[in-house]
Amino acid sequence: MARRATVYITLTLLTALAFGLSLWVGAGDLSDAALRDVFLSLRGARALACMLAGSALGVAGVLVQGLFRNTLASPDLLGTTAGANLGGRLAILAFQPLLVASSGTLSADVLLPLGCLVGAALSLALLLVFVRQDSDSVVLLLVGFILGSLFLSVASFVTSIAQESWEVGRAVVAFALGSVTGTSLRVIALCTPLVLVGTLMAFAWGRTLDVLLSGEEEAKTLGVDVRATRTWVVVWVSVLTSAAVTLAGSIAFVGLIVPHVLRPVVGSTHRSLVPAAALLGGAFAILCDVGARSIPTRSEVPLGVVTGLLGAPVFLWLLVRQRRLERDA
């Protein structure tokens, strides 16, 4: 218990340090008193968006790995992120007449969380239809890849249709690019309750997921309603993923890396992993964003590019290791 408390305190300090570093790093001179408040406000909103998105994906990764009993599962690898991205674009397109009629007074931002939520839930529901909980890792990843490719293809088609209207086309393209640059306080205010509720409910369902790890039949004998558990986990993963995609677009591998780093430190129980994943996921996303801003390029490197460069080698290593373990077993 003492070791776990030490880990939580360390992660909290790391998140605070990352947040402070994000306020300090960036274009612009903070010594200029006239512009200091503007820079700090913009950077603060950006750091908060990164922290919320990273926390949401870290917790969502813990949940999907518990749901499928597979440590290679994560929202982006299973097509959930792509589904949320498609849902957001469809939400903007569906409300096209309302956006145009408002003459700019109504932003597409308010429509994104709902659309992303529906898209993420649909993708997870389809995954559960085609994949059993005890399926082979390669089967799970293959189905997730197929669903993700399908959703991205449809999303590209939606983007093409949206170009018929300049206002809606601009909103869809801006969302499709996905960035924490200029994330509005309204979007942050809309997504913060989603991340908080999703994290709290993930913690609340932690013990039930621990029992589910032993297998569906054994969980049923211990009084667990397996169908209800899977349904509610899908709901909360969808809530968390939709918030992350709304805030920062598609960010890869956060939900995969964070749980793997934490399990040797805090253990494999979900109630231990969830708060740690929220803290480390937030810190990881902020530090990746700081790294992206520090790269000397003409245009800013997207956050998802940095997380992808860091996460892809880790994923390949985990895949090879798991295949070896399965072969040895």
Mean pLDDT of the chain: 83
* Three-class DSSP category at 312: helix
Mean pLDDT to the nearest integer, 199-215: 90
Domains of the chain in start order, with CATH, are: 2-328 (1.10.3470.10)
Residues 6+ apart with CB under 8 A from 159: 89, 169, 172, 173, 176
69 backbone φψ class: left, alpha, beta (φ>0; ψ -120 to 50): left
pLDDT, one tens digit per residue, over 156-183 is 898 888 887 776 777 777 777 667 876 7
In the predicted model, is pLDDT for residue 100 greater than 60? no
Q: Which pLDDT score is estimated for 39?
A: 59
pLDDT band per the 50, 70, 90 thresholds, residue 244: very high
- DSSP calls for 163-201: TTSHHHHHHHHHHHH--STT--HHHHHHHHHHHHHHHHH
